[in-house]
Structure 1
Amino acid sequence: MPLKAGDKVPSATVNKTDLSEVDTADLFKGKKAVVFAVPGAFTPTCSAQHAPGFIQKARDFKAKGVDEIFCISVNDAFVMKAWADGLKAGDDVTFIADGNGDFTKAMGLELDGRGFGLGTRSQRYAAVIEDGTIKELAVEPGGGLTCSSAEAVLSTL
């Protein structure tokens, strides 16, 4: 069952693009963060719309009190680094690799992509997290990009 607003962020080990491990409970502790999850790095909607929207609007998020923006995907840290570099994300968005899908599973937001040759991935979603507690969670109902877009999340802040 997916987590919801009011729930604590689960503890899971993920990797930053420098390959360092970090616990998600520590990652979100003591800050206001926006997290958006994508089914896969380098995939069409993720690369053309979802991630670029957050990169382009990073200043708007900071102006609304967001300390950090995170992009999480069930990919390895090497792929996430190459993707962040290709998108020229710089320091605007922190890309996080959930290589084993542990965080995604703990959030209850797995996507069965086996029919497309993708294995288990993350559903597309966005969350506002304050000091480790989920304040807002918007999960896309289908294959599009609506409620988890940068614009949609900004409108909730």
Structure 2
Amino acid sequence: MVKAIKEADKIVFAPGDLFTSVLPHLLVDGVREAICASKAKVCFVLNLMTKVGETDFFQASDYLERLQFYLGDHRRLDYVIVNGGKLEPEIVAFYKSVGQGLVKVDEQRCKKIAPRAKIVRAKLAKYLKKEHLLRHDSEELAAAILRL
């Protein structure tokens, strides 16, 4: 894994449960150091919604703060990819009814935490009506990453 990181053009922290799927990669021996030493662009794709019991009331800066802490270098993050599209009020209301909220982008605080990082907005949200699931649109997300 460390060799792949060192040879990468881009390193992407994908959306997911922050403390149980995103950050644990940085606890593996050599991974954090390889990322910090790599010349690759480092991208962090933020979740669309908070997660009950894990990221309640988190804003974008809270996610960045945790990533920076585990990464150990506040200058290493190059891009933060966030949803720039609007969501239908009924979708937001449904998620609110189950204790989740939109991840708000508090740009000023993000800039203080990750001064080099550019915030990239893209229409990422895709609502699967039948399943009542809000997900990242894989094609839109891939296109956003490839544009970096």
Query: Normalising TM by the smaller chain, what interval?
Result: 0.3 to 0.5
TM-score, with normalisation over the residues of structure 1?
Answer: 0.36
Question: Is the strand fraction higher in 1 or 2?
Answer: 1
Question: Is the helix fraction higher in 1 or 2?
Answer: 2
TM-score, with normalisation over the residues of structure 2?
Answer: 0.37
Bigger relative contact order, structure 1 or 2 (CA pairs below 8 A, ≥6 apart): 1
Over alpha carbons, which structure has the higher Rg?
2
